[in-house]
A and B are shown apart, each in its own frame.
Chain A
């Protein structure tokens, strides 16, 4: 039975359309995962043998002090990135299978997760080389057992917590406040979390048998989860999607701008009502601060050619982020897009102006960087003009190359739906193209003319926007059947 369920699971993964359709994204993901694990191993080896070169304190005391922080960090990481694998069991609930077995399967399978490997990879070398070396193999092994037990306890705690969060809406806020409070108290030295951590984990070194508490708590949290899921396996309770009673956003003011405004209003609703596009929007807000990483740094004053890149990024991040999936966002109702009473030309016009307005807002916000010198405003202006004149149409054009379907109701973290070759291509022209005009003059020592040229070319593109939108519409008109078929079948 267990094996059959496992094989279904495997099939679900390998046959899912994203897996099959975008090999490139998967290679990239696999590569990223490998990198992460390699870093974890390297970090593990480093703290096992090289830690005393970096700090004055005794490495064992240092690590034991830090462990509690580490597990807090892991908890947060898991909280945002780890999925509760409940949906997968829904199709089995009506079959003549014992509920307990399905839940056991789900919980056991969930333990096969990169997050569980993380702590083990980081601390295994330390346990055997350092602690084993100082306290003997037995103690080292027990300390290791403690780490494993703690990692899996955190695993099941997060899972339980995430489920509970649906029942208690403010739990996250409460938890956040508690942690902020503890961190604050710790920071001002009123209580010392690190001492508490040391106290807990040092015990194990003195009394190795006490380490068994952690595998025990692993087992206990497992049982708690089991009890909860067995009693709550109703599809509507399993669903991680909360039913919304609040309808957000009206954007009535956009109606004044005619058809274009109407379409932009619709798109804004799309963005605000779904996690993934909303994340793209929030990212835009954060990246406005990107300049702070560059402008005040001494090192970058020497190589201020990089500021153009910063400007392109700051004023353009929204269309880079959101526009690369141009049509994919609307893949769920694409047939409607094609048949409704809106011409393709109007459709593209609305999208173009939405990106222009977003870039303009970002540019206006970036004016604050004038604090670091007037030059920065000029650079950002050139970047902004280049973005609206050249880069926006470019991104829109690239996004028309066999776009992939996106299911809007899925979350944002680790969601690579919609990613295809086009998405990997986008960064190059967007970031490199302005330099093609800027760099030659810069190298000749005439920085200002370079910037002027970049701005001018952008302005030209913007002045000819009607032609550009016509061209985009034409491309779309030629590709529409293929795109629609792609969205329909996946």
Chain B
């Protein structure tokens, strides 16, 4: 599905990402872990064509993402607040996205209904702009927006951060369910080793821009990762 070859990004002489090759198969759930400054977000941005790689390329369905815009039609993403139009209300934002995905208002209501639990009655129907929402609620809006339009690929940066425990658990279940039902390819970066090992089948560990581990999740993975980071 997504293939990376000879990908590097250099900022002022410092290599922040250096990945010779990496493949994410269709339907795979891919978890990215690493300390601050490991290059996780830059890597994700290059997959989304937000940052121009110094060398190499990212292809999605065998097409270079920087060469055409086809990938946008099946890729959902939420990295940070720069993905939200903060002067809209959540309802307006969803409506705007719904038209981009050619949803009717009935489709939209049906789609949003499944997140009612996640929203906890704090998001829809409130006369509040997105910029006035709490960080956690902003994140919920962003993630739900990213899942709209039945994407084949979804990229989320730190989806669990800033969320309350209940929501974290609900989100985890939602993601798992979506993945199974829709053959969704999922790329998630997280500092929360617990959650990420639970959601993802494959974990890649980045350190200073390089892939240090690439493991299939098993019962010992969490322990391995904790040991690795403790010794770092």
Chains A and B belong together in one complex? yes
Name A's B-contacting residues (CB within 8 A).
Answer: 243-247, 255, 259, 262, 266, 269-270, 273-274, 332-336, 338-344, 408-409, 481-482, 484-485, 488
Smallest distance from the beta carbon of A332 to chain B beta carbons, Å? Answer: 6
Report whether A343 and B69 are in contact in the complex, using a CB–CB cutoff of 8 Å: yes
Smallest distance from the beta carbon of A141 to chain B beta carbons, Å? Answer: 53
Smallest distance from the beta carbon of A472 to chain B beta carbons, Å? Answer: 16
Smallest distance from the beta carbon of B122 to chain A beta carbons, Å? Answer: 16
Report whether A341 and B149 are in contact in the complex, using a CB–CB cutoff of 8 Å: yes
Q: Interface 1/0s, chain B 98-122, versus A by CB < 8 A?
A: 0111000000000000000000000
Report whether A481 and B50 are in contact in the complex, using a CB–CB cutoff of 8 Å: yes
CA A481 – CA B89 in complex, angstroms? 28
Most chain B Cβ neighbours within 10 Å, of A246, A270, A332, A409 = A332
Task: Report if B51 contacts A (CB, 8 A).
Answer: yes
Task: Report if B3 contacts A (CB, 8 A).
Answer: no
Q: Interface 1/0s, chain B 145-184, versus A by CB < 8 A?
A: 0000100000000000000000000000000000000000
Report whether A336 and B85 are in contact in the complex, using a CB–CB cutoff of 8 Å: yes
CA A408 – CA B131 in complex, angstroms? 11
**Main SS class of interface, A:** helix
CA A338 – CA B49 in complex, angstroms? 8
B45, closest chain A residue (CB): A335
Q: A246-B127, A247-B127, A273-B87 are in contact. Are A255 and B82 (CB under 8 A)?
A: no
Interface residues of B in 120-148 (CB under 8 A from A): 127, 129, 131-132
Task: Report if B79 contacts A (CB, 8 A).
Answer: yes
Interface residues of B in 72-86 (CB under 8 A from A): 72-73, 75, 77, 79-86
CA A344 – CA B70 in complex, angstroms? 12
Besides the contacts A247-B127, A339-B48, A341-B100, what 18 more A-B pairs have beta carbons closer than 8 Å?
A262-B96, A262-B100, A273-B129, A332-B86, A333-B81, A333-B86, A335-B48, A335-B82, A336-B82, A336-B83, A338-B48, A340-B100, A343-B69, A408-B87, A481-B49, A481-B52, A484-B50, A488-B82
Report whether B50 and A269 are in contact in the complex, using a CB–CB cutoff of 8 Å: no
Report whether B83 and A269 are in contact in the complex, using a CB–CB cutoff of 8 Å: no
Report whether A339 and B51 are in contact in the complex, using a CB–CB cutoff of 8 Å: no
CA A342 – CA B149 in complex, angstroms? 13
Chain B residues lying within 8 Å of A333, measured Cβ to Cβ, are 81-86
CA A344 – CA B69 in complex, angstroms? 9
Smallest distance from the beta carbon of B74 to chain A beta carbons, Å? Answer: 9
Report whether B72 and A481 are in contact in the complex, using a CB–CB cutoff of 8 Å: no
Chain B residues lying within 8 Å of A340, measured Cβ to Cβ, are 72, 97, 100
Report whether A269 and B88 are in contact in the complex, using a CB–CB cutoff of 8 Å: yes
Chain B residues lying within 8 Å of A270, measured Cβ to Cβ, are 87
Chain A residues lying within 8 Å of B80, measured Cβ to Cβ, are 335
Q: A247-B127, A262-B99, A341-B100 are in contact. Are A269 and B51 (CB under 8 A)?
A: no
Task: Report if B92 contacts A (CB, 8 A).
Answer: yes
Most chain B Cβ neighbours within 10 Å, of A341, A481, A484 = A341
Chain B residues lying within 8 Å of A334, measured Cβ to Cβ, are 82
Chain A residues lying within 8 Å of B131, measured Cβ to Cβ, are 409
Smallest distance from the beta carbon of A473 to chain B beta carbons, Å? Answer: 11
CA A243 – CA B69 in complex, angstroms? 38
Most chain B Cβ neighbours within 10 Å, of A244, A339, A342, A484 = A339
Most chain B Cβ neighbours within 10 Å, of A262, A332, A335, A482 = A335
CA A206 – CA B79 in complex, angstroms? 72
Smallest distance from the beta carbon of A58 to chain B beta carbons, Å? Answer: 57
Chain A residues lying within 8 Å of B77, measured Cβ to Cβ, are 339
CA A7 – CA B222 in complex, angstroms? 48
Give how many B residues have a beta carbon under 8 Å from the other chain's beta carbons. Answer: 33
CA A257 – CA B187 in complex, angstroms? 36
CA A488 – CA B87 in complex, angstroms? 18
Interchain Cβ contacts under 8 Å between A and B, 9 examples: A333-B81, A334-B82, A335-B79, A336-B85, A339-B50, A339-B83, A340-B97, A481-B50, A482-B52
CA A83 – CA B49 in complex, angstroms? 40
Chain A residues lying within 8 Å of B101, measured Cβ to Cβ, are 341
Chain A residues lying within 8 Å of B73, measured Cβ to Cβ, are 341
Report whether A341 and B83 are in contact in the complex, using a CB–CB cutoff of 8 Å: no
Chain A residues lying within 8 Å of B49, measured Cβ to Cβ, are 338-339, 481
CA A140 – CA B197 in complex, angstroms? 81
Report whether B87 and A339 are in contact in the complex, using a CB–CB cutoff of 8 Å: no
B151, closest chain A residue (CB): A341
CA A482 – CA B51 in complex, angstroms? 8
Q: A246-B127, A339-B75 are in contact. Are A485 and B69 (CB under 8 A)?
A: no
Report whether B51 and A481 are in contact in the complex, using a CB–CB cutoff of 8 Å: yes
B85, closest chain A residue (CB): A333
CA A334 – CA B84 in complex, angstroms? 9
A262, closest chain B residue (CB): B99
Chain A residues lying within 8 Å of B97, measured Cβ to Cβ, are 340-341
Smallest distance from the beta carbon of B131 to chain A beta carbons, Å? Answer: 7
CA A273 – CA B88 in complex, angstroms? 9
Smallest distance from the beta carbon of A486 to chain B beta carbons, Å? Answer: 12
Report whether B82 and A332 are in contact in the complex, using a CB–CB cutoff of 8 Å: yes
Report whether B82 and A243 are in contact in the complex, using a CB–CB cutoff of 8 Å: no
Smallest distance from the beta carbon of A270 to chain B beta carbons, Å? Answer: 6
CA A484 – CA B48 in complex, angstroms? 12
Smallest distance from the beta carbon of A329 to chain B beta carbons, Å? Answer: 10
Q: A245-B127, A247-B127, A409-B131 are in contact. Are A336 and B84 (CB under 8 A)?
A: yes
Chain B residues lying within 8 Å of A485, measured Cβ to Cβ, are 51
A484, closest chain B residue (CB): B50
Chain A residues lying within 8 Å of B75, measured Cβ to Cβ, are 339
Report whether B127 and A341 are in contact in the complex, using a CB–CB cutoff of 8 Å: no
Q: Interface 1/0s, chain B 37-57, versus A by CB < 8 A?
A: 000000001001111100000
CA A431 – CA B132 in complex, angstroms? 41
Chain A residues lying within 8 Å of B96, measured Cβ to Cβ, are 262, 266
CA A227 – CA B89 in complex, angstroms? 37
CA A40 – CA B219 in complex, angstroms? 78
Report whether B87 and A274 are in contact in the complex, using a CB–CB cutoff of 8 Å: yes
Chain A residues lying within 8 Å of B81, measured Cβ to Cβ, are 333
CA A484 – CA B52 in complex, angstroms? 10
Chain A residues lying within 8 Å of B89, measured Cβ to Cβ, are 247
Chain B residues lying within 8 Å of A244, measured Cβ to Cβ, are 129
CA A244 – CA B89 in complex, angstroms? 11
B100, closest chain A residue (CB): A341
Considering the complex of A and B, which 9 residue pairs feature the smallest CB-CB distances, nearest first? A481-B52, A335-B82, A336-B83, A341-B100, A273-B87, A333-B85, A262-B99, A339-B48, A247-B127
